[in-house]
Amino acid sequence: MPALKPFRAWRYAADLSVVTAPPYDVLSSTDAASYRALSPQNIVHIDLPDPTPDGYIAAATTLRAWMDDGVLIRDTAPSLTLYRLIFADAKGTSRQITGVIGALLVTDYDAGPVLPHEHVTAKASTDRLDLTRATQANLSPIWGLSLARGLATEVGGVWDAATASGSVPRELLADGVTHQVLPIDDQTMISAINSLLAPADVLIADGHHRYGVAQRYRDEVQACTDAPAAFTMAFINELVDEQLSVEAIHRVYDGVPFDTLHAALAVDFDLAPAPMPSPALLAQMTDLKRLVLLSPDGQATWLTPRPGAFDGLRGLDGLWLEHTLAGIPGLSVTYQHALDDVISEMPHHSGAVLIRPTSIDEIRRTATEGLLMPPKSTFFTPKLRTGLVVRTLDE
C-alpha cells in the first residue's frame, strides 16, 4: 500500500533560500561550489561530499553536528509535509503543483505498487548508497505520481484548512519558482490524504536511482516492513496535466559521421531545412509533430515521420529514434535537457536530435499498462528542493 507514513522531520532553522539547493544530480561542479559558498550550512555540503570514504564520514559528522547545534530542528511529532511549487512553465503559463512529502514503503518493482516509468541507465557508482550508509538519512525525496483521482483537490483542501487555522507555510523563491512547505500532524488530515493514496499505484517521476538505492539499503540491513530502512522519503502528487510540467531530454550522438546519422534517419523521416534552433522552434515541433536534427556546424533539419514508419510503436520520440537507429555500428547516445547546452556542444559531436516533451496521456498509459519508456524520456520541472525536509533512519 503506497500510503505515506508520517515521520519526525528535521527542518532548517535558517533562511531556506541560503541553505537549500536543487537535487544533486542536476548540479554541475560550478553550481555545487556556488551553493556551498552561499552558506557553510547549505545542504550541498552534505548532499555532495567528496566521493571517498572520508568524504562520506565528513558528511555524516557534519549532519550530526547540525542536529546537535540546532541548525536542524526536529519536529516534536510525526508529520507529513505539504509542498507547493508555484511557477511559470516553458510556455509562460502560470502553474501550481501541490503534493505531500512522507515516508513511502520501499517495494520491489515486480511486487508493486511503486513502479518505474522508464528504463533506467546503469550507474556503476555507489555514491548515494555510500552516503546513505554514512548519514543514515534521506536528504532529498524521490518524486512519485499517484494514480489516485482527486488527490490534488484533497491536498489543496488540507492546505487551505491548515492555513485557515493559523499554520503559516515556510517559503523561498529560487530561479523563478516559489517553494512552500507546510507540516501537518493532524491525524484527521493525514488520514484523509492516505485514504486516497492507499488504493492507487505510484509511478516514479524522478529519483529512480535513489529508489534503487533505497531497495538495496533495505536488503542490505534486512529491514522488516515496519523498520525505518523499509521506507524512503517521497514527494507524491497526482498524475494529472495541471499538476505536472514536463520538458524534453534531447539526444546527442557520437561514434559515426554525421552523414551516416543523416542517412539512417532518412529511412523513416522526411527531411527538410528547418529554422535555427530556439525556444520558438521547440514550440513549433510540438505543434507540427516533428523532430529536429542538428549537424555539428549547427544546421537544423526537420524530421517528419513518414506515413506508416512507426505503426505499432507508441508515440514516443525516444522510442522512434531507438527503432530507426538500432544496429548502427559504433553509434552512441547521451542526453541533454538544455537547448543552449546542446547547441554549444554540437561542434564536438556527430549530431543531435531535438525531441518533444512526453505527453501526460503517454505517461498515464505507461502507468496503467505497466509499460516502460526509453531512458531519459521525461524531464519533470521544476525540480524539488533538497533540504526542505530531512528524514533520519532512526525511528
121 plus 30 within the same structural domain = yes
* Cβ neighbours for 371, distance < 8 A, ≥ 6 positions apart: 314, 365
127: left (phi over 0), alpha (psi -120 to 50) or beta: alpha
Q: Specify if 373 maps to a domain.
A: no
Q: Specify if 320 maps to a domain.
A: yes
Q: Specify if 371 maps to a domain.
A: no
Check residue 39 and give its pLDDT. 97
Check residue 367 and give its pLDDT. 72
Residues 162 and 130: their CA atoms lie apart, in Å, by: 38
How many folded domains does the chain comprise?
Answer: 2
**Side chain identity, residue 176:** G
Q: Specify if 374 maps to a domain.
A: no
Check residue 210 and give its pLDDT. 92
**Side chain identity, residue 246:** V
Q: Domain range holding 21? A: 4-245+379-392
Q: Is the peptide bond before 382 cis (omega within 30 degrees of 0)?
A: yes
* Cell numbers given for 12: 532548517
Check residue 120 and give its pLDDT. 64
DSSP 106: P
10 plus 125 within the same structural domain = yes
258 plus 387 within the same structural domain = no
Check residue 365 and give its pLDDT. 80
106 plus 28 within the same structural domain = yes
Q: For the chain, where are the alpha helices, taking DSSP H only?
A: 16-19, 29-38, 44-47, 53-69, 127-135, 151-164, 187-197, 208-220, 258-265, 279-288, 317-325, 339-345, 360-369
Please state, as a whole number, how many other Cβ atoms lie within 10 Å of the Cβ of residue 183. Answer: 20
154 plus 240 within the same structural domain = yes
19 plus 132 within the same structural domain = yes
* Cβ neighbours for 33, distance < 8 A, ≥ 6 positions apart: none
Low-confidence ranges of the chain (pLDDT < 50): 124
176 plus 257 within the same structural domain = no
**Side chain identity, residue 136:** Q
51 plus 117 within the same structural domain = yes
Q: Angle at CA 272, nearest 5°, toward 270 and 273?
A: 160
165 plus 254 within the same structural domain = no
Check residue 2 and give its pLDDT. 63
205 plus 223 within the same structural domain = yes
Q: Specify if 105 maps to a domain.
A: yes
25 plus 141 within the same structural domain = yes
* CB burial string 230-260: b at 16+ within 10 A, e below: bbbbbbbbbbbeebbbbbbbbbbbeebebeb
Check residue 371 and give its pLDDT. 73
Domain CATH number, residue 283: 3.30.1760
- Percentages helix, strand, coil for the chain (3-state, rounded to 5) are 35, 25, 35
